[in-house]
Structure 1
């Protein structure tokens, strides 16, 4: 029989408990109503270049199949937490890794949080489910004034309603998210200033910056009956000194989305890419890329440098805690890519990219 940890390991991405499951059983969409499009059938969203996530049968095969699963430590301490400056002016980019998929990005006088999660667990309930093994790399009290929050999709390790409520109460930021995710947020707390946008939309955020929503190879859900009833997206931050490509979660597939991003935007100054939650490959490959594929994405999208995330904080899948960083180093060496151009830093660590760096 699998361990209790293994049974709960994928709770964040294959939700089995929901606070309003009965409502989601309806064939209608409780989150979004809009015209049919090339990625919305009137009820559910889909990726024309993607694939459906595995069925419940696949989940049970993985969880009960007895395959190898690395045991993470109960605690993997960090050296310390970051105390960010109030602002970073000009075209320098300061990146602070909060943990898992959460990053603070500071540039051109704006403070932008990506998929912020300060909760102890990534789960629909507070008392069980995947638990972080290190504290957030920035204490919530040490955050500078947050202007913009980008939330990529509704899985619990990316959309944390408790954190969004705390941010709304203290900072009142604009929250930019894909279609339907705003309904989830405002249903929890009307004070969350969520605004929803579609793939291809461009949103000006001030100080010469804009955010584009782009397709990515993934899916979304908050419960067992609402799969893909809201949209998921990557974000491209348009900036005068070079664009930034942020992907919360994605599979690689045939690489269509990443080559399309390069064709549209001409390459990127920085890509922020997930490298973890990829084993076993038979189950994860369509929705989560591995470190070797992340390096290929960096090449495909024309990014000059990349920051790794989605590793080393919460165990969702079977690989060991440091395996993503080790595999990333091997993949970079195999391509003769300098390791300093694609970094996997720990929570609490930072990386500043100067305006003159090419």
Structure 2
């Protein structure tokens, strides 16, 4: 074992995910099936389930569940300085991250709006002021739900910004003037040149979720997560929105040596309603282990009130679940909104 493969006392790097297949051309025009419903790993809720949810009135936390809003972690700071060999992540809130990799600045599911359709206003401010962002080199979108695909935020970007999106979603982006849109199917990838002359690879991977933007387009576009890899073999996995299931193990096998997994831990109650599409904190920790990821950063909590669990509960539960694994506490990056952390080769 060489020094490069020694990480936390075990072999870490493994075969490169770049062997997964050649990258797709950027911005190519593609045709897709009319529906991706065959990719669902569980049936979507029907009328009876929706009726039960309405009858129980359990879609949002009560007053006791909201009392800890002032205690939600919020610690904005300046974006760290990085070189082309350093990976840095900054949590802007919810599923929005500023990922610095290969000298590029990549936004994940950017939502800088105060309010999104169908939910109360955000309960913590955005952790990074838009004016403080460096030039954005790329955006990755996991799926088209409003808390992950925010049209007002995308309007702030130059229309030449490269967008990487799930299959079927490019038309929506092109209608809004974006000229460099690359849509991918599961297990496909594309690349952008990094600042050091080495490419940053964007691999689109499966998730246990679904898509809908309007009442008539259910599962018309795909959903998934992203593995970002730089020329030094460093890898960041962004899960987007997902329930727990078999895909995590398969992603880990196809992309060994993930350095950091950005995993959702909130919007999970009531469990009978959300189990299939949103991991709870314990499942997120299990997913990190399935992936073989070295570090985990929780997300998808502390920003929008989307479900019934108390607002601070995801943090306390994920910390307890992590402790139960016996893994080093330093590998759980439970960042406040606005905080950053760095990876080095």
| TM-score scaled by length of structure 2 | 0.83
- Does the Cα contact within 8 Å between 2:101 and 2:200 map onto a contact in 1? no
- Give CA deviations for 1:76-118 in whole Å, capped at 9, x if unaligned: 4765533325x62232221111001100011221101000000
Q: CA deviation at 1:191?
A: 3.6
Distance 2:298 2:69 in 1: 21
Structure 1 residue runs of 5 or longer lacking an equivalent are 1-31, 36-41
Question: Is residue 89 of structure 1 aligned with residue 86 of structure 2?
Answer: no
Equivalence for 1:205: 192
Match of 1:245 among 237, 255, 273: 237
Secondary structure, aligned partner of 1:299: helix
Partner of 2:10: none
Shift of 1:199: 1.2
Structure-1-length-normalised TM-score: 0.80
Asked whether the equivalents of residues 97 and 345 of structure 1 are also in contact (C-alpha less than 8 Å), the reply is yes
**Aligned-residue offset at 1:58:** 1.5
**Which residue of structure 2 aligns with residue 332 of structure 1?**
322
RMSD between aligned alpha carbons? Answer: 2.2
**Secondary structure in 2 aligned to 1:343?**
coil
The reply to whether residue 46 of structure 1 matches residue 37 of structure 2 is yes
Tell me the CA shift for residue 349 of structure 1: 1.1
Question: CA shift at 1:55, angstroms?
Answer: 2.1
SS in 2 for 1:167: coil
Q: Which residue of 2 aligns with 1:196?
A: 183
Q: Distance in 2 between matches of 1:191 and 1:102?
A: 20
Number of residues of Structure 1 aligned to a counterpart in Structure 2: 308
Query: Does the Cα contact within 8 Å between 1:114 and 1:150 map onto a contact in 2?
Result: yes
SS in 2 for 1:152: coil
Distance 1:327 1:228, change over 3 A: same
Q: Which runs of 5+ in 2 are unaligned?
A: 1-28
Question: What secondary structure, in the 3-state scheme, does the structure 2 residue paired with 1:119 have?
Answer: coil
- In the alignment, which of 66, 69, 84 is matched to residue 61 of structure 2? 69
Partner residue of 2:168? 180
Deviation at 1:346, TM superposition (A): 1.7
